[in-house]
Each structure stands twice: as C-alpha cells, then as structure tokens.
Amino acid sequence: MAALGRQVCDWHRLTALSWACLSRRTPHLRERRRMSPSLFCKLTTVCSGESLQESSCVRPKKYVLDPEYSTQLVPCLHGEQRTRVEPKSSELEKVISSLQDMGFDEAHVNSLLSMQPTVHPQQLLDIISEFLLLGLHPEPVFMAMKKSPQLLKLSTVQMKKRSSYLRKLGLGEGKLKSLLHGCPEVFTMRQRDIESVVKVLKEKCLFTVQQITELLHRCPAVFQEDPSKLEYKFQYAYFRMGIKQRDIVRSDFLQYSVTKIKQRHMYLERLGRYQTPDKKGQTQIPNPLLKDILRVSEDEFLARTACSSAEEFEVFKKLLEREEEESESHVSEEEEEDEEEEEL
C-alpha cells in the first residue's frame, strides 16, 4: 500500500509537470479548443505512459470534480493565489470553460474570477462577452479589467446603453479600444456626467461633431473633467493664447493640466517669446509650436523653446502660484464687498 501511495504522489507530480509541458508545446490549444480539466486528464494519461497504468486504480475524474483540488492544481503551475468562490462548482466550471473558449488563458481566467468576488461568475462572463462583442480581443479586455476591476460590476444593460451612446458620438469599435485603455471610466461613469462634458464641448466651446469625436478619442480623460474647468481651459487657449478649435484638438491641449499650461505659456509670454495674436490673428514674432510648448519634457521646453534655465523657471513657478492665490482671494474679497453693497 505504501508503494501505491508513493506512486500516487508521483503521478500527481507527473500530471502537474505534464500539464506544464503540454501548455508550452500546444499553445494553439489555448485558443479555441475545449480545455476542461477532464480533457487534460486524458491527455496526461496518454503522455505519462507506463507509470500511469499502475495507478489506474486512482480515479482521475474524482479529483477533477473536487473544487479544492482544482484550486490547488493551477497555482502550482502558475503560482497564483486563488480566493474562494461561493457558487456551485459546475457553474464555475462552465464559466471557466466559456472564458477559455473566448481565448483567455488559465492565468487570466483565475485572475478575472478573483478580481470581484462579489460578482457572480455568470454576470462576469456576460459583461466580458459584451466587451468582446465590441470587437475587442481578450488580451486588451483582460488588461482593462485588471486596471479597472469595477468594470466587471457593470450590467449588460448598462454596457449596451453606453456602447450605443459612444457609437453615436462617433466612437465606434476601432476607437473603443483606446478608450478602454485610456479611460475605462468612460463605461462606468454616470450618463449625465458624460452628457454635461459633451454639452460644454458642443455649446460653449463650439467644437464640431467631428472635432468632438476626435477629441474624445485622443484624450478620453476629457470625459472625466469638471465641465466648468474644461470650459476655462478652452477659453484660456482660445482667448489668451489665440488657438482655434482645430489646433486645440490636434495638439491634445485639453489633456494638460491648467497649471502646466499657464506656467509654460505665461513664462514664454513674459520672456517675450509668445504673443497673443491680434484681431487679425497676427503676431510680431513667430510663436513657438504648441507641441514645443506642451508636449515636450520640461528640460526640452527650457532648452529649446524658452531658452532659459531651470532655476529661473522654478522661481517663476513659485511666483506664479503666489500671484494666482492672491488674485483669487482678491476676487472673492471683491465679490464679498459687492454682496455687502447689494444688501444695503
């Protein structure tokens, strides 16, 4: 009996190793074939040869059905911890296999299942299916879920509604991938928050529909901005810097923080290297390109565009911060005074 016991141990080890060896040698099997645990068991039986014959008295099927065993097996292959899953093992098995059918590998499957333990695996499967239906591949979907697990909490109804709204905005299948990567919150945000952003872009900033589409595609973080701050940024670009809608979109202007924009622009302006165009859109000096102002690193900005030193820029930033603070408090003081006057 002891000998048998040893052989059983060997066999388990062998199976584990065989699975690993199989995975490596048969990557295509991951994609569309059924790789349920029962199947792999048969494969290993074939592979291992003689030693298995002796252990045929051990019933493989038994251990497949044992959830505890299956949880232990996969970690020893891929070293991942797995949390407990409440639902019935057969349901879980179905979900696992469906996910694998869709093209998620074992590791990703485990990862997905452990991300939101409160979410029912079936719901998880449904929502992932929705994402795949958008034309996205498993790998990007997995990355998005990993980055923002709250996506898994969406209902399919919410998902469908949001996708159709985004499509209406011109953000079709091809663009949704970058949206999902750049700003997954686009799917989980409140509808009215998205609408207020779009409204500002359309009605206050007067972007065309195509410009809005392009903007949202290039800078999806814009969706999450406070609409009044967005409007302020736009006005700064348009009136203060003399940049029109087309260039605002092309330069990804709206993705930069107001602080950075003001620091760099006002520094250039006070150096005499940037002028606000007059009514005819003309300046006495050629203004630097927007990309050389905002897109470049600070070092490059200082070396090439501003032609100034880092220490001077540091002092300038501090002075500007103070100026802004003081003008804000001055404005609110004035407002208070106005209010007081009105009361009289």
Partner 1 sequence: MTYSVQFGDLWPSIRVSLLSEQKYSALVNNFDAWDNVSAKLEHLGAKDFVKEAISPQELEPESDLSPPPSLNYSPNLRCFTFPRGDISRFPPARLGSLGLMDYYLMDAASLLPVLALGLQPGDTVLDLCAAPGGKTLALLQTGCCRNLAANDLSTSRTGRLQKVLHSYVPQDIREGNQVRVTSWDGRRWGELEGDTYDRVLVDVPCTTDRHSLHEEENNIFQRSRKKERQMLPMLQVQLLAAGLLATKPGGHVVYSTCSLSHLQNEYVVQGAIELLANQYSVKVQVEDLSHFRKLFMDTFSFFPSCQVGELVIPNLMANFGPMYFCKMHRLP
Least CB distance to partner 1 at residue 278 (A): 17
Binds partner 1 (CB under 8 A): choice among 4, 9, 21, 307: 307
Q: How many residues interact with partner 1 (rule CB under 8 A)?
A: 16
Q: Which is nearer to partner 1, 150 or 259 (CB)?
A: 259
Is 310 among the residues that bind partner 1 (CB under 8 A)?
A: no
Query: Which residues are within 8 A (CB) of 341 and not within 5 positions of it... i.e. 6 or more apart?
Result: none
Task: Catalogue the long-range contacts made by 278-281 (C-beta closer than 8 Å, 24 or more residues apart).
Answer: 281/242
DSSP track, 10-41:
HHHHHHHHHHHHHHHH-THHHHSS---HHHHH
Q: Does residue 275 bind partner 1 (CB under 8 A)?
A: no
CB of 296 to partner 1, least distance (A): 18
Closer by beta carbon to partner 1, 26 or else 259: 259
Please identify which residue in 50, 86, 299, 311 interacts with partner 1, judged by CB under 8 A. 311
Q: Identify whether the C-beta of residue 84 lies closer than 8 Å to the C-beta of residue 72.
A: no
* R_g of the chain, CA atoms, integer Å: 30
Q: Least distance (Å) from partner 1 to the CB of residue 134?
A: 50
Binding status of residue 322 toward partner 1 by CB under 8 A: yes
Whichever of 4 and 315 has its CB closer to partner 1, that residue is 315
For the chain, how long is the longest CA-to-CA vector? 102
- CA 86 centroid distance within chain: 28
Q: How far is 86 from 148, CA to CA, in rounded Å?
A: 23
Of 9, 258, 289, 319, the residue at the interface with partner 1 (CB under 8 A) is 319
Residue from 87, 318, 328, 334 touching partner 1 (CB under 8 A): that is 318
Which of 98-106, 173-181, 270-278, 333-341 is the region at the interface with partner 1 (rule: CB under 8 A)?
A: 270-278
Q: Which of 82, 120, 204, 273 binds partner 1 (CB under 8 A)?
A: 273
Residue 314 sits in the site that holds partner 1 (CB under 8 A): yes
Dist. CA 64–CA 193, nearest whole Å: 48
Cβ atoms within 10 Å, residue 257: 10
Record the tokens describing residue 294, joined without a space. Answer: 């905002």
CA 328, CA 115: separation in Å to the nearest integer? 44
The region that residue 257 occupies, defined by phi over 0 for left and psi between -120 and 50 for alpha, beta otherwise, is beta
Q: Closer CB to partner 1, residue 13 or residue 318?
A: 318
Check: CB of residue 36 under 8 Å from CB of residue 61.
Answer: no
Please say whether the dihedral angle defined by the alpha carbons of residues 85, 87, 91 and 95, taken in this order, is positive or negative.
negative
Q: How far is the CB of 233 from partner 1 (least distance, A)?
A: 23
Q: Is 267 in the site for partner 1 (CB under 8 A)?
A: yes
Structure tokens at 297: 């690193």
CA 203 to chain CA mean position, Å: 28
User: 109 or 306: whose CB is closer to partner 1?
Assistant: 306
Q: What's the min distance (Å) between Cβ of 338 and partner 1?
A: 23
**Does 308 sit near partner 1 (CB under 8 A)?**
yes
Residue 240 touching partner 1 (CB under 8 A): no
Residues within the interface to partner 1 (CB under 8 A) = 267, 270-273, 307-308, 311-312, 314-316, 318-319, 322-323
